Structure 1
Amino acid sequence: MKNWLRKHPEVRTIRVAAADLNGQPRGKRVPVRFADTVVENGTRFPMSVLNLDIWGEDIEDSPLVFETGDQDGILKPTERGFMPMPWLDSATALLPIWMFRENGKPYEGDPRHALARVVERYKALGLTPVCAMELEFFLIDDSGKTLQVPTSPRSGKRRKAAEIMSIRALDAFDTFFTDLYDACEAMDIPADTAISEAGLGQFEINLMHTDDALRAADDAWLFKLLLKGLARRHGFAASFMAKPYPEYSGNGLHTHFSVLDAEGNNIFSDGGTDGSERLKHAVAGCIAAMPDSTLLFAPHANSYDRLVPEAHAPNGICWAYENRTSAIRIPSGNPSARRIEHRVAGGDVNPYLMLAGILGAALTGIEEEMTPPPPITGNAYALDLPLLPDNWGEAIDTFEKSEAMHRIFPDGLIRNLVMTKRQEMHYMEELTPEEKTEIYLDTV
């Protein structure tokens, strides 16, 4: 890590940042001459900082604040190390960190540790999840009272229409996407293909798969920070908000995953088109946990505007082969690459909690050799299916009471997340739709 800074003498300051429960970066600005101290000894800030609400406020009556004296945790660098922050004007390096207790044990309220805990369960069985994410986002001109697609730097025009997989839409923002891909390369974020999507000024970028689930979540978290920051440099906003436009489809974050055994074989493949029994066990685990884990996939008030019928987002609990109306899709293709695509999450999620929930549920299915319901065919929206919770309050209550979630997450994290969401729900009820959009547009 120190060598990186020595190779980049232009860097004057660093940011050390960890993800809180909402996926917001929390941390410090540090002069570069003190960077070695941070690398060697870490830094400190209150454990309650990883448990703030969406406004960055303390959680009322949280045991992390006054009850325990607002104690510090120790923040240590992750294995990711330093990277540039191309969206800032001055040369600055970002150092991702995560939280530990004074005794050296992981702080159970840190979402990255929650994912690490699930990965360790896989490792104990000689298994390794391989993950990739597809992130949808909107480019938005939010300078006026009404949100709209930005003016194209190329043509000077504002195209007020959705253009699915349109090369013209991509070309309209070619300078931005060129800068974005250059920045991804500088930050070692494996950005692959980009397409225009079904919403107004909506795009999707795929991140390449990796056999390191923590890195996959890091990539998604860092990509969200980069995209939002870089868009502002170009004079507009980029948002992963679940549903900024009521009349258009919302933002999803689709997760693809398979599992390797100790010899590197894909346990989801049996050489055929249907996949192995263990693939079906994993599907069954995800299906069984889906209502309980909805809060992880739809963590905000606006999230539930996306999960409505016939809006390119699932609301029925089901699975299928090569069917994008289902909550879980098994893509076609080479049997050796057989995998699960989990399609429920919105773009507004915390990637660490979302991936922990998906992989944890799949592992429960594998461990218990669960059997899924039959796969559906046809339009899932037209079928009589069990439904996801359709409102925030129900999702919070279901998550809190779930035995499946307590098997995946530490009790302390569940308590902190539930308290956070109930506080947010209380104060969101006082806001107008415009005020809700304003808070979510930049944060999530």
Structure 2
Amino acid sequence: MKDWLRKHPEVRTIRVAAADLNGQARGKRIPARFADKAVSDGTRFPFSVLNLDIWGEDIDDSPLVFEQGDQDGVLRPTERGFMPMPWLEAPTALLPIWMFHENGQPYEGDPRQALAAVVARYKARGLTPVCAMELEFFLIDDSGKKMQVPASPRSGKRRKAAETLSIRALDAFDSFFTDLYDACEAMDIPADTSTSETGLGQFEVNLMHCDDALRAADDAWLFKMLVKGLARRHGFAASFMAKPYPEYSGSGLHTHFSILDKNGANIFDCGGPKGTALMRHAVAGCLAAMADSTLLFAPHGNSYARLVPDAHAPVAICWGYENRTAAVRIPSGSTSARRIEHRVAGGDVNPYLMLAVILGAALNGIEDGVEPPDPISGNAYAQPGLAQIPTEWGAAIAAFENSTIMPRIFSRDLIRNYALTKRQEMHYLAELNPEEQLELYLDTV
């Protein structure tokens, strides 16, 4: 890690940063000449910093603050090491970090550590999840009183309609996307295909599959940070909020995953289109945990504006083959790439917690050997009798907090801390008018 800075003498400062429960980057700015100490000794800040609300405030009645004396944790570099921050003017490096106790034990309230614990469960069974994510976001001109799509740097015009899979829409912001892909290359983020989506100024970028779930979540977290920062350099905003425009579909973060055995074979591949019994068990686990884990897929007040029928976001707890109205989809294609697509999460999620609960729920299903209900065909929105995802924030908090499934995936402390965080946010968000709520979420999530 230290060699990276020596090879980049132009870097004047570094940022050390960890993801809090909301996926917000929390950390410090350090002059580059003192970076060696951050690598060798780590850095310190309170455990409570990874459990702040969306405004960055302490959680009322949190046991991490006054009850425990607001103790420090030790934050050490992740295996990712230094990387450039191309959205800043001055040459700067980012060092991702994660939190430990003084004795070296992982801090279970760190979302990255929570994902690591799930990955360790897979490793103990000789299994390796392979993950890929599709991230949707909006480009927004927020310089006036009303949000609108930015004017194209090429034509100066604003397209005021959805342009699904439009090459013209991509070309209109070619300078931004060129810089974005160059920055992804510099940060070693595996950005693949980009498309214009169904919302006003909405785009999607796919990240390539990866057989390291921690790295896949890192890529998503870093990508969100990069897109938002780089858009500001181009004179507009980028937002992953779930539903910035009521009249258009919101932004999702779809996750694809398969599982390899110790010999590198895909345990979902039966050589045919239906997949294996283990795939069905994984689907069953995801469906069983879906209601209780909705809070992680829809963590904010605005998230629930996306979870409505006929808006390209699932609301029924069901699965199907090649069916995008279902919450869990089995894509077609090569049997060797047989995989599960989980479609519930919004773009505003914490990628570490989202991936932890998806993979943890799937492994629960495999361990329990449970069978899912029959796959659906046709429009899931129009089918009566299907169990529904919680579509109200308070109900989702209660389901998460009282779940008997979540303690199989997360520590009870994380469950408690996250529920306290969301109850506090729900309380204070009710004091804001719609414009203030929009302003809050536009840049943060």
**Bin for the TM-score computed over the shorter chain:** over 0.9
Residue 398 of structure 1: SS of its match in structure 2?
helix
Give, in whole Å, the separation in 2 of the partners of 1:54 and 1:396: 16
**Counterparts of residues 91-240 of structure 1 (less than 5 Å):** 91-240=91-240
Q: 2:242 is matched with which residue? A: 242
Tell me which amino acid in the other structure corresponds to 1:71.
Answer: Q
Give, in whole Å, the separation in 1 of the partners of 2:271 and 2:404: 35
| Seq. identity, % | 79
Q: 1:390 is matched with which residue? A: 391
Offset of 1:373 from its aligned partner? 0.4
Offset of 1:172 from its aligned partner? 0.1
Give, in whole Å, the separation in 1 of the partners of 2:223 and 2:344: 20
**Counterparts of residues 238-317 of structure 1 (less than 5 Å):** 238-317=238-317
Give, in whole Å, the separation in 2 of the partners of 1:43 and 1:378: 53
Give, in whole Å, the separation in 2 of the partners of 1:228 and 1:334: 35
Give, in whole Å, the separation in 1 of the partners of 2:388 and 2:186: 42
Residue 118 of structure 2: SS of its match in structure 1?
helix
Tell me which amino acid in the other structure corresponds to 1:105.
Answer: Q
Instruction: Say yes or no: does 1:54 pair with 2:61.
Output: no
Q: 2:444 is matched with which residue? A: 443
Give, in whole Å, the separation in 2 of the partners of 1:131 and 1:302: 27
**Counterparts of residues 302-341 of structure 1 (less than 5 Å):** 302-341=302-341
* Structure 1: tracts of 5 or more residues without a match: none
Tell me which amino acid in the other structure corresponds to 1:246.
Answer: P
Q: Hey, which bits of structure 1, 4+ residues long, moved more than 2 A?
A: none
Give, in whole Å, the separation in 2 of the partners of 1:441 and 1:315: 24
Residue 299 of structure 1: SS of its match in structure 2?
coil
Offset of 1:403 from its aligned partner? 1.0
Tell me which amino acid in the other structure corresponds to 2:427.
Answer: H
Residue 291 of structure 2: SS of its match in structure 1?
coil
Residue 178 of structure 2: SS of its match in structure 1?
helix
Give, in whole Å, the separation in 1 of the partners of 2:68 and 2:326: 45
Q: Deviations over 1:339-391 (max 9, x none)?
A: 00000000000000000000000000000111000000000110111100010
Instruction: Say yes or no: does 1:419 pair with 2:420.
Output: yes
Q: 1:377 is matched with which residue? A: 377
Instruction: Say yes or no: does 1:22 pair with 2:22.
Output: yes
Tell me which amino acid in the other structure corresponds to 2:124.
Answer: A
Tell me which amino acid in the other structure corresponds to 1:363.
Answer: L
Offset of 1:258 from its aligned partner? 0.2
Offset of 1:281 from its aligned partner? 0.3
TM superposition score normalised by structure 1: 1.00
Q: Deviations over 1:82-141 (max 9, x none)?
A: 000000000000000000011110011100000000000000000000000000000000
Offset of 1:393 from its aligned partner? 0.3
Give, in whole Å, the separation in 2 of the partners of 1:209 and 1:230: 24
Residue 405 of structure 2: SS of its match in structure 1?
helix
Give, in whole Å, the separation in 1 of the partners of 2:145 and 2:69: 43
Tell me which amino acid in the other structure corresponds to 2:55.
Answer: W
Residue 157 of structure 2: SS of its match in structure 1?
coil
Tell me which amino acid in the other structure corresponds to 2:337.
Answer: A
Give, in whole Å, the separation in 1 of the partners of 2:98 and 2:51: 13
Q: 2:367 is matched with which residue? A: 367
Q: 1:409 is matched with which residue? A: 410
Give, in whole Å, the separation in 1 of the partners of 2:30 and 2:323: 49
Give, in whole Å, the separation in 2 of the partners of 1:404 and 1:66: 30
Residue 244 of structure 2: SS of its match in structure 1?
coil
**Counterparts of residues 16-95 of structure 1 (less than 5 Å):** 16-95=16-95
Give, in whole Å, the separation in 2 of the partners of 1:316 and 1:154: 42
Give, in whole Å, the separation in 2 of the partners of 1:16 and 1:119: 24
Tell me which amino acid in the other structure corresponds to 2:163.
Answer: E
Give, in whole Å, the separation in 1 of the partners of 2:233 and 2:204: 20
Offset of 1:30 from its aligned partner? 0.3
Give, in whole Å, the separation in 1 of the partners of 2:126 and 2:422: 36
Aligned residues: 444
Give, in whole Å, the separation in 2 of the partners of 1:118 and 1:176: 36
Q: 2:11 is matched with which residue? A: 11
Q: Deviations over 1:165-210 (max 9, x none)?
A: 0000000000000000000000000000000000000000000000
Offset of 1:431 from its aligned partner? 0.7
Give, in whole Å, the separation in 2 of the partners of 1:270 and 1:159: 46
Offset of 1:68 from its aligned partner? 0.9
Give, in whole Å, the separation in 2 of the partners of 1:406 and 1:394: 18
